Amino acid sequence: MHMVTDEFAMNSLNAAKQQLRSAMKQRLGAISKESVKAQSSVVFNKLREFKPYVEARRVSIFLSMSTGEIQTDGIVRHALESGKEVFVPYLHRNPLPSPDLPVRVMDMVRLRDIEDYESLQPDRWGIPSIDPATVHDRQRIFGGPDAHHSDKALLDLILVPGVAFDIAPETGAIRRLGHGKGFYDYFINRLKAKAKDLGVEGHIVNLYALGLSEQLLRSPAEGSIPMGPYDQRIDGLILGDGQVVIHPTD
């Protein structure tokens, strides 16, 4: 009976998330390219003076779709030019197949330099993507048996995308609705487990989202983001209108 209740709750949660994603898709589709470009510039200018970014040595940055989200091209270039180690998402089949685990998972792989970044080819969503043929030669956060130099690799800062965000009225927690694949939630869980295995359980990885101002649900009338047991809490949100929302310290 308990399992049936849990399954019903998860199905209800997923249905509520999917409904909100559909509504947000319409909202985001109406934003002009000029607005996205202007908001992306505001976020970039905020971020480059933002202490967690300034002090981060190893940064993971999402690479943007061409519409409907903050464009990160300027951030990637600035981070590389600033001498930071820059990691970007790479999706691949899960090497540990199991009915309880996702079929596809995300790793973060390091860009070598600006030329390397500029050589990435767009995937079917227009997102610049790592060539699978080059992955074995790159530093990765998890990697495989060939990635001996990734054993101790962790991250200082992860910049994440999202479909929508809101602020929990009771706690001030910033809630994120992703695209529904769970790539970031699963990656961050694995990263925490890796830090524990390395004996640096207290290692702080800052998790900040970048969003268009239209992606923040500002009142219950606009909807609220349902949270499940595996959804990761984010530390802050930088928006395209210049607003910076920080999760209250416990």
Is 19 annotated among the ligand-binding residues?
yes
Rounded Cα gap, residues 179 and 177, in angstroms: 7
Is 211 annotated among the ligand-binding residues?
no
Q: First and final CA of the chain: distance in angstroms? A: 36
Is 184 annotated among the ligand-binding residues?
yes
Is 178 annotated among the ligand-binding residues?
yes
Query: What length is written for the chain?
Result: 250
Is 172 annotated among the ligand-binding residues?
no
In terms of Cβ atoms closer than 10 Å to its own Cβ (0-12, 13-18, 19+), residue 65 is: middle
Is 37 annotated among the ligand-binding residues?
no
Is 17 annotated among the ligand-binding residues?
yes
Is 18 annotated among the ligand-binding residues?
yes
Is 180 annotated among the ligand-binding residues?
yes
Q: What are residue 89's DSSP bridge partners?
A: 108
Is 21 annotated among the ligand-binding residues?
yes
Is 69 annotated among the ligand-binding residues?
yes
Of the candidates 86, 65, 76, the one whose C-alpha atom is nearest the C-alpha of residue 179 is: 65
Is 20 annotated among the ligand-binding residues?
yes
Of the candidates 250, 247, 198, the one whose C-alpha atom is nearest the C-alpha of residue 52 is: 247
Check: CB of residue 24 under 8 Å from CB of residue 164.
yes
Is 179 annotated among the ligand-binding residues?
yes
The DSSP symbol for 30 reads: T
Beta strands in 20-171 (DSSP E): 58-61, 85-93, 104-110, 121-122, 128-129, 157-160, 164-167
Is 214 annotated among the ligand-binding residues?
no
Annotated binding site: 17-21, 63, 69, 176-184
Annotated binding site for ATP: 17-21, 176-184
Annotated binding site for substrate: 63, 69
